[in-house]
Structure 1
Amino acid sequence: MAPRSPNLESPSTAGTARSGPVALLHALPVPAALIRTDGHILECNDALLRLAHLGTPPARLDDVLPEDLVQRLRSSTPHDAVRHRHAVNGSPVCWVAWSSKPWPLDPGIRLVTGIDVTREHALEDYIAANQWFETAAALSGGLAHDFNNALAGILGLSEIISLRLPEDSPLHGFTSRIAASVDRAKTIVRRFSQFSRKSTGVADAQPTAMLVDELVPLLKAFMPSAVVVTSAVDPETPWCRAERHEFEHILLNCCTFFRARLRQEGGTLHLAALPALERAGAVVRLTASGQGLLGAPIERAFELDLARSETAYDSGAAVHTAARIARAGQASLQLLRDDPRTLSFVLRLPPAL
């Protein structure tokens, strides 16, 4: 017995090339396909071919999408749209939300569609990273206080032991090393306290080189392990006028644009400080490079963020780049695309005098 042919068209339009419902399928601006329950593609539109970088229609849906996603799309069980990251042949990375539903003319066929959610995904990652900053800042403040109390006890007991030892005791060397270790630990505690404290709103003279050097450990802790973080400071870099707390959060906030996109395939992040050439002051350049930065959505997300008010986020204390720049001492921030896979945030800081 011959297998039943799928009914893609209504009886009144059957036999007409790309007419009726199938014509609507090809008119959709989003990737779409009609598949059988075994994953075989009966019909697909040009948008799907462009997404997959194919010249001819694929035979099966798993030629375009991963097998586990195809299994869900083939299932008749209702489910929410599933996001998938697409990066084919050096093309810009994009996120597509895939869903499926029964074809009304034949229950054995399913209509699969995908909607580009790259921009929404970028903004969600950005807001999530900002919320991570808020949580980290709150925790660091409490940890710094408790850790400082513990250090005070260690240093105090070490000094008592040192006072009770004979002057010629070899144990004085150990107590000196304890004191030196406590001093180093206090430096770490001070960094925690600076990260968690509120902005003073007052920009004053700051050593640009020191600001950059102290920020590097935070960047290494924040960025994924697949990202190599490096730094360089021009010895001629002058002092700048900035509010230290705002300076750190501006650059850490910029890293949120890079973090999500470099998390999958890795890349590099380079922080550099150098003198401003066109005017007095200093320039801090944060450059990221990687396959995940290919494409334009980052610029649009950044421009959108600058246009939003500080209370537009669900969390009222969310870090807001534009507001922080305004409070950082007449600084300016610019986003540049150096090449298809490289982006740079350039922060220009006014001179100290």
Structure 2
Amino acid sequence: MELAAAQGLLAAVRALAAAEDAGADIHAGLLNRLVATAPAAWTTDVPAVLQALDLPVLRAFYLTAAQAAAHLPGALPGESLAQAIAGALRLHRPGAQPPTPGTPAADRTGVVRRFADEALFGLLAEAWSRPAGAAGLGEDLLRDILVHLHTLAGTLTRLEAAVAPPEHRAPAPAGAGDDEAAASQPRSQLAVRALECLLDYAASQARTDGAMPADVLDLLAKVLTIGPGRPAVAAAVGRRLPALHHHAPGFAAAHRAALTALDGSPTPAAAWLHTGPADVRCSPRWTARPCSRRPATQSAARSSTLPTPSPPTRTPSAIQPTS
């Protein structure tokens, strides 16, 4: 911090990149503190910082710190938000030549992917929350983002993803085997987060265009067809039931049984009643149903199957890497 104050942030960035332990886990917390202390200075010229941080793991740490500070005054102004999103997306496409096995870069592949995921989801949440056009996402970048999110969330439309026990699910992506923390995050968790991100994008589009994009609703329909009774899926969709009701009433009506069933299983309506958000216009519509008059034991069973709400995305301490 003293070096950044005395010689400028790029000098501090170059010192981090040149350190003998460059890429060590401690640098995640250090970059988080640096960016949070002066968010405007650290996020105004994102490409320059990414270029100075020549290690993928340092870039992932920096972008995660940037998304954690995105809500602070002056953070990610102008085109810098789009540049940060593009940087996070590039970390998912490191190039045709993968790191050589056994090298430090290969050993950190899982950490890079995990921090890049956290950065991308958090930065997109910030982009969707800004007024139409304010995030500066160009047509090509937005297309690449949506393709990436649809690819991740698409795994929720396959039957094996809904019924396979954890020990029979697909292994972690190649390169993440040496990173226990990355291996502990199954693909299904990323798929659910991608679905959440797409639904939030659809809601942001509806606030501008008056309707949710058809391709997102088609994806959600396929997820519901496979079955909404997966706790994480039910929680993700449940938190967005008010948006579906307000912005896609036809879709909500056509999928009423899957969305609003209250039969003791982990459904979207049960998740919404359990965790919110509150919406007085929706509550009477979804709770005044005969099946909502269930025994208390059923209600308790339903609550116990629902996951607790995830912490806010802008909490990098929740994903600090482990040695």
Same topology, TM > 0.5: no
Greater radius of gyration (CA): 1
Question: When the two structures are superposed, what TM-score results if normalisation uses the length of structure 1?
Answer: 0.25
Structure with more of its chain in helix, by fraction: 2
Structure with more of its chain in strand, by fraction: 1
